[in-house]
Structure 1
Amino acid sequence: MTSPTPFDVAAKRLRDDAVARLLPAESVPLDQALGRVLAAAVVAPISVPGFANTAMDGYALRTQGRGARVGQSFRCIDLALAGAAGQAIDDAAVCVEIATGAVLPDHADAVVQYELTTRTGDCVTLQADVVSGSNVRGAEDDYARGQLALPAGRIIDAGAIGVLAGFGVGDVLVRRRPRIAVVVTGSELQPAGAALARGQIHDSNSSTLRALLGSVAESLQMIGPLADDRDLLADTLRDTARTHDVLVTTGGASAGRADFIPGLVGELGEISLWKVAMRPGMPFLYGRIGTCAVYGLPGNPVSVFASMLSLVLPALHAMQGRNPVGTQYASLAIAARKSHGRLEWRRGVLASLPDGRRVIRPHPAQGSGMLRGVAESNALFRLDAEVRALGAGQIVEVLPFSV
């Protein structure tokens, strides 16, 4: 029997394979791009702003780089509103009333806000000193034309949407999301709402996986729960793999009499790895049926959750060209111990202290079938294979549930 693959080796293999099979790019309207991954870098097609403008409502002054002093008065000659250019200031003794965002009049080099002035008729008097450059946004302050604005592999969030809209971009090139199917297996599983006979349990894996995969998938087909029937599972895997990029199975991944998934994946395609030296989730399988990537997860609910966060989701992100998320760390709030020689992902509550330090407190419910530990936690933390005990305050790697 082959030894389980070390976790870091398995994780790298999944990521490398996903990168090698990068999903194609497609163009989508900007208003449909939220949450997608940029397929190509975005270079600013225009300068933003394209003209010098004001950051405050007030009066534009020509100080010739010297600033202006309290008590100095100016004659107001014009009103400049956003969307139009005001009259040029050719005389240092005059000013132009100006609205936020309006084009800075020619020769002006400072704006004093209303609150620091008094006005009588057309005469505006300063109530404070004004420094040259005050409240002025220079042309290209945000982006210069030709400047790299957004790198390839970036998730398009609300900030990126705003930048792209500011450039006048109508369509954006993104990676296609994977078409994913989930096959949940287990003769003991019953759907939510069904009455339970002795020995049966409700299927929680379908709902968990739907929640984890919904925002990642182009389409998500949920199949099951299916009985542990070899012929039924063979037909399901074969047919599903033909029409999907990714197939995720739960249950039947170990070496028991009713664990058919490894044998079927080997017959229908190929297995790249089976069993990972991690806990929970050791009977993890990765392979391919045709062009479809297959991730075979154990049936225990916490094993499903930990395997998805630590192995499958990073691979799905890599498949879309998403830039890797940096490793995050926190200090243990209390000591942690284990008695085995495998890497372990445990559940805990991650929090930030007032001084900026991050701490994680292990949850007391750590069994692979105990979803309470997931529901009452917000992160996984890693205990390496060689570790038997870590004291309070020691640093561990953490995987927040929201990435």
Structure 2
Amino acid sequence: MPETASLQPVEAALDTLLEGVMVVPTETLACDQAARRVLSNDVTACLDVPPFDNSAMDGYALRHADAGRTLPISQRVAAGANAEPLAPDSCARIFTGGEIPRGADCVVRQEGVEVTADGIRFPDDIPVRNNIRPRGSDVRAGAPLLAAGMRLDAAALGHLAGQGITEVEVRRRPRVALLSTGDEIVEPGQPLRAGQIYNTNRPMLTRLLETFGADITRLATVPDDAEGTRALLDAAARDADVVITTGGVSVGEEDHVKAALTSLGRLDLWRLAMRPGKPLALGRLPDGDGDETRFVGLPGNPVSCFVGAWLFLRPLMGALLGCRELARLPKLAARADFTARTGPRRHYMRVTLSFTAEGIVAQAYPDQNSGVLSSCVGADALAVIEPDSHVAAGDTIDCLWLRGD
């Protein structure tokens, strides 16, 4: 039987990982602490924005019927000032954001008038409502303001502030236990002994997970010991929503994670039809309260870890947060500026994208080996190359966009 007969497609693996995922509980935060958090409820506007008709520029407010006349200035209206009703046969000096006086129905910018000894001379052709921002032209009271499931970016926080809102209900960050396996792994800053390497996956995954909305509540290194691995997985599952390991899910004699997972909970999938990242395990662990904690066992190779995080951890955090934005990576069509030939597994190649007048062009990193983390530094996207394919320069390929999080 060919090896690929036992390998699971990426889409099937993702469906299995997300099956039955429940969103995390909510919490209330001050808006100035809620940047990038996921809104848990729809928000309805309670105020019109702008709250009154106001001037779009510095100029003069007048009645449309007085176009072509020379009018004296009867009042000055700065932003934040209370405008009086417009006196007959007059205009108002007004500044950007100033309230339109009752009775005025147009504004002429200051560069479009002539200042004379008798007043302000206006042109004949002034449109009604010219240079006026109407009340409620941005937001109407009672209309939807923000939708549940969106991440609160700068504009959304400004939208909330425009309603006078100071607190917002958001999803609690999913709690993640991030465990590194292997006696050969040493944290940066410690001296290296023969056969040891620095832990590149932990800082990389920590940053990615935080970007995806997670809260890293446990960091630990698992020794190459079956009982120690089992005990640490059990403890991590009791206080986390997701347990993630790096390494230890292959077939070596010192790879104990898969066996520990099977003894404690269940292994849903192992070995995927993807490159890099074939030895990737998905499963569930009991949390001690009758529920289940999701488990993702990423390969130890740093590129496999990087790719697996984007393909599986990002949508998992999206499901836990109820955030549609995180559910799928944006897909862009690009023209390949390289050649490639794949075997029986789908290949996720690290590429940079150039946006040209002729379209998007993808350039592949020369060395696509799963141990070459430099192929991920500066990568804009993952080019998706289907199994048993030959890509020639100029072919159109799909690329999963990695920027913007």
Return the TM-score normalized by structure 2.
0.92
Q: Aligned partners of 1:204, 1:47: CA distance in 2, in Å?
A: 51
Considering only aligned residues, what root-mean-square deviation do their CA atoms show, in Å? 2.0
CA contact (8 A) 1:68 1:131 kept: no
Q: Which position in structure 2 is the counterpart of 1:76? A: 73
2:400 aligned residue: 398
CA distance in 2, matches of 1:90, 1:103: 15
Residues 353-382 of structure 1, C-alpha deviation per residue, up to 9 Å, x if partnerless? 145x22211110100000111114222111
Question: Is the aligned partner of 1:221 residue 2:224?
Answer: no
Could you tell me the percent identity over the aligned residues?
33
1:346 aligned partner:
349
2:301/2:370 contact within 8 Å kept = yes
- Of 343, 347, 361, the residue aligned with 1:359 is 361
Match of 1:237 in 2: 233
Which residue identity does 1:365 align to in structure 2?
Answer: D
Does structure 1 residue 139 correspond to structure 2 residue 135?
Answer: yes
Q: Give the CA deviation at 1:90.
A: 5.2
Q: Secondary structure at the match of 1:172?
A: strand
Deviation digits for residues 84-104 of structure 1, max 9, x if unmatched?
A: 33222253x311111211211
| Residue aligning to 2:106 | 110
Matched-pair contact (CA < 8 Å) for 2:26–2:172: yes
Alignment partner, residue 331 of structure 1: 334
Give the conservation status (yes or no) of the 8 Å contact 1:84–1:103. Answer: yes
Distance 1:293 1:326, change over 3 A: closer
- 8 Å contact from structure 2 (residues 201, 246) kept in 1: yes
**Conserved in 1, the CA contact under 8 Å of 2:338 and 2:363?**
no
Asked if structure 1 preserves the Cα contact closer than 8 Å seen for 2:341 and 2:388, the reply is no
Q: CA deviation at 1:219?
A: 3.9
1:85 maps to 2:86: no
Give the direction of change, closer, same or farther, for the CA distance of 1:376–1:63 in structure 2 (3 Å limit). Answer: closer
Tell me the amino acid that sits aligned with residue 368 of structure 1: S
3-state SS, counterpart of residue 190 of structure 2: coil
Whole-Å separation in 2 of the counterparts to 1:287 and 1:68: 75
Rounded Cα–Cα distance in structure 2 between residues aligned with 1:220 and 1:353: 43
State the one-letter code of the partner of 1:83: G
Q: CA deviation at 1:391?
A: 4.0
In 1, Cα distance between equivalents of 2:44 and 2:143: 5
Q: 1:362 to 1:128 in 2, by over 3 A?
A: farther
Deviation readout 1:281-329 (Å, 9 max, x if unpaired): 1111111212321110010000000000111111112210111346311
Residue by residue over 1:165-202, the C-alpha shift from the partner in whole angstroms, topping out at 9 and shown as x without a partner, is 00111111111111111100112222213333332221
CA distance in 1, matches of 2:342, 2:388: 10
Equivalent residue, structure 2, for 1:15: 18
Structure 2: tracts of 5 or more residues without a match: 287-291
Structure 1 residue 41: deviation in Å? 1.4
Q: Distance in 2 between matches of 1:16 and 1:321?
A: 13
Q: Partner of 1:83: helix, strand, or coil?
A: coil
Q: Hey, what's the Cα distance between the residues in 2 that align with 1:16 and 1:390?
A: 38
TM value normalised by structure 1 = 0.92
> What residue is the counterpart of 1:152 in the other structure?
148
Q: Which runs of 5+ in 1 are unaligned?
A: none
Determine the C-alpha separation between the residues in 1 that align with 2:334 and 2:29: 42
Q: How many residues align?
A: 394
Q: Secondary structure at the match of 1:375?
A: coil
